[in-house]
Structure 1
Amino acid sequence: MDSAINDYPNPFSHASPAAYNKRPVNKTSSEQSAYQWLPSIDWNIKFYGGHVQQVGKGWSAPLEAHIGFEILLVLAGRQATTIYGRQFELTQGDIIIIPSGIEHLNHCEHNDGLTYFCAHFHIDDPLFRIQLLRQQQLIYRNGTEPNKQLQLIINKWLEMFKTEHAYTSTDHFQMQMVLFELCVALTRLVEQSETSTSGGTRYLAPTAIHYAKMIAERLKLYFNQHAASQNEISLADLKVEALIESIGISSGYGLEVFRSVYGISPRKYLSELKLQEAKALIQQAHLSLTDIAERLGYSHLSHFSRQFKRWTGISPLEYREQL
């Protein structure tokens, strides 16, 4: 046998000797083999909108909600974030994590202005989303231990900004590695929070999570098919109940488990897919707004502009100018 093969660590070295006997005598077939495995991972991962910006008094971002989660670190000055009519004040070093589907408004009314880092991330894993959605803490104040952990991770992104050269594939992989570090840290914070509080959290059966993910995959397929054909992705044309029933469950149950996992309705989820695609295209400066409208299936730029303004409160041109 090739000696190089023997150099690999034995995955059962921590187990008892019986765990890796090759041919145990008088054992059933199920007992004759012992093995360990890692789970399959099939995620859609997105990291987008990462930027540092300096703004003055009176600045305000559009009222919006995302499919993904938003993380924001105040680098200098003060920021106010309004969520469901409640205003949170953030000062230098504070971090806020805004969950998926939550409408929020970031603004600055402080005389000294504001400098901040912000990024959005989306990992289409139901268990991860459930963990973050049930986390009650939004703000991690500067100086606390969780804040220190998160700042160490965010600083890795801050060190990656380039001003002269294009980002390479290596850069992209490194950014994604930092994203995974962040996700590990967040899930651990959620677990620590749950063990320190009584009463527990609502349990969702694996089958419910599975069906919610299936519905999300069907919605993305519907979106991608229409986007590829450059036909308008119409919410009115989508029969959500029929889509849910096509996977073998009742529409009522499907709507309930989808909202439990993703925090929004299937129609809102599809609307968010459209909005995020529109925003991603607008950020590509070489594309005209007319080209973007055509790619999204709108016959006229005016139709796209009206819809975008319904989503964000500003026109596509105003959004591009803000960027």
Structure 2
Amino acid sequence: MLDHSISSLPSGLEHSVSGSMLPDLQISFRVFAAHRRKVNANWSFPEHKHSQYEINVVLEGSQHMRVEGRNYTQTEGELLWLTPNQRHSSLGVLDGTTMEYICIHFEVDDSWLRQQLNQLTDVRYPVGSPLEQALRPIIKDVAQATKESEGTHQKLLTLQASFRLFAVLSELLLQVKQQHSAQSPTTELAEQIAAQIEREWALVSNAEDGTDDKVPLRIEQLAEQLGYSSTHCNRVFHKAYGISPRQYVSMIKLRKAKLLLMNPALSIEQISEQLGYRDLSQFSKQFKRWTNMSPTAYRQLSY
């Protein structure tokens, strides 16, 4: 997690001749459910979808995958790139013997970064493609880490691979950005919606009821302000970021909750109030739905 917005630092502007600043970053990501598995000819996995990105690579053998109703033949070394909420399933091994694969899920809570990642629109990346080549050494190290016994060493290897993953993806996105410098009108609209949601969330979080019940109304009001229907805004936003505006509000609140929980000077009750929840119980229940752990448990992990 990166948080470079430190308001207590002096500006340093006095007697300055020239200068420039980089943008503040407040991005958190989560790599989870990474696994390596070898299966026989009878194995398959039912159709499902989730809000995370997924990288699926065949290490040995071949696999029959279906993504959004389209069939893909995935041979050894080939990579499947799945964006949030894409329906996908594995129809099993192609050659009737065995198949080994590795799967990595990761989650990003920043709308701008999600938009950039969603520019990688292909599902199948063959051996030798830029994405496969860039990720190959990382996938190899993740596969090796799965052989380690659980403990500090395995966690450090996973952490190292996670940072390398995002570094490589950033390099690829820079290349994509240089090749497609012009933004489409729908992309600009999605960015406007995201920026306004960030501002509107402060009003929602200060409401007497801290739930997301009022979010749909605010999205409708936002669409009206921009001169579009709420249906169009939801569709454009989902295409750019892979999630709905309502889901994005929840991600903002979760990111803020995590940051506040890392501040030992704040009690959990104070954090609950800052986020706009009417009581500690409501905040705790919502946080557990998001993370499968209580605010207290998350705070303990941070120290």
Common fold by TM > 0.5: yes
Alignment of 1:273-288 (within 5 A): none
Structure 2 residue corresponding to 1:175, chosen from 161, 172, 181 = 161
The corresponding residue for 2:195 is 210
Partner SS for 1:108: strand
Shift, 1:267, TM fit: 5.7
User: Partner amino acid for 1:94?
Assistant: E
Correspondence 1:127 to 2:127: no
Partner SS for 1:159: helix
Q: Is the 8 A contact 2:134 2:168 kept in 1?
A: no
Structure 1 residue corresponding to 2:102, chosen from 117, 122, 127 = 117
The corresponding residue for 2:74 is 90
Q: CA 1:143 to 1:263, structure 2 compared with 1: closer, same or farther past 3 Å?
A: closer
Shift, 1:239, TM fit: 4.2
% same residue:
24
Q: Is the 8 A contact 1:153 1:182 kept in 2?
A: no
Structure 2 residue corresponding to 1:53, chosen from 25, 34, 37 = 37
Q: Is the 8 A contact 1:132 1:186 kept in 2?
A: no
Partner SS for 2:86: coil
Q: CA 1:145 to 1:260, structure 2 compared with 1: closer, same or farther past 3 Å?
A: closer
User: Partner amino acid for 1:166?
Assistant: G
Q: Deviations over 1:60-102 (max 9, x none)?
A: 2232222121101110111111122210100001011011121
Instruction: Write the distance in 2 (CA, Å) between the matches of 1:163 and 1:220.
Output: 43
Q: CA 1:217 to 1:158, structure 2 compared with 1: closer, same or farther past 3 Å?
A: farther
Partner SS for 2:48: coil
Q: CA 1:41 to 1:155, structure 2 compared with 1: closer, same or farther past 3 Å?
A: same
TM-score of the two chains, using structure 2 as the length reference: 0.62
Partner SS for 2:71: strand
TM-score of the two chains, using structure 1 as the length reference: 0.58
The corresponding residue for 2:91 is 107
Instruction: Write the distance in 2 (CA, Å) between the matches of 1:130 and 1:212.
Output: 15
Instruction: Write the distance in 2 (CA, Å) between the matches of 1:187 and 1:38.
Output: 18
Q: Is the 8 A contact 2:93 2:99 kept in 1?
A: no
Q: Is the 8 A contact 2:79 2:125 kept in 1?
A: yes
Partner SS for 2:136: helix
Correspondence 1:262 to 2:250: no
User: Partner amino acid for 1:202?
Assistant: S
User: Partner amino acid for 1:265?
Assistant: S
Alignment of 1:108-257 (within 5 A): 108-110=92-94, 111-167=96-152, 170-171=156-157, 173-188=159-174, 190-191=176-177, 194-195=179-180, 202-203=184-185, 204-205=187-188, 206-212=191-197, 238-244=213-219, 252=230, 255-256=234-235
Shift, 1:31, TM fit: 9.2
Q: Deviations over 1:205-251 (max 9, x none)?
A: 343331355678999999xx77xxxxxxxxxx834422436889578
Shift, 1:30, TM fit: 9.9
Q: CA 1:109 to 1:218, structure 2 compared with 1: closer, same or farther past 3 Å?
A: farther
User: Partner amino acid for 2:173?
Assistant: T
The corresponding residue for 1:307 is none
Partner SS for 1:62: strand
Q: CA 1:254 to 1:80, structure 2 compared with 1: closer, same or farther past 3 Å?
A: same
Q: Is the 8 A contact 1:212 1:261 kept in 2?
A: no
Q: Is the 8 A contact 1:58 1:107 kept in 2?
A: no
**Unpaired runs of at least 5, structure 2:** 1-11, 252-283, 287-303
Deviates more, 1:213-222 or 1:243-252: 213-222
Q: Is the 8 A contact 1:50 1:117 kept in 2?
A: yes
Correspondence 1:72 to 2:47: no
Q: CA 1:61 to 1:53, structure 2 compared with 1: closer, same or farther past 3 Å?
A: same
Q: CA 1:148 to 1:135, structure 2 compared with 1: closer, same or farther past 3 Å?
A: closer
Instruction: Write the distance in 2 (CA, Å) between the matches of 1:216 and 1:262.
Output: 17
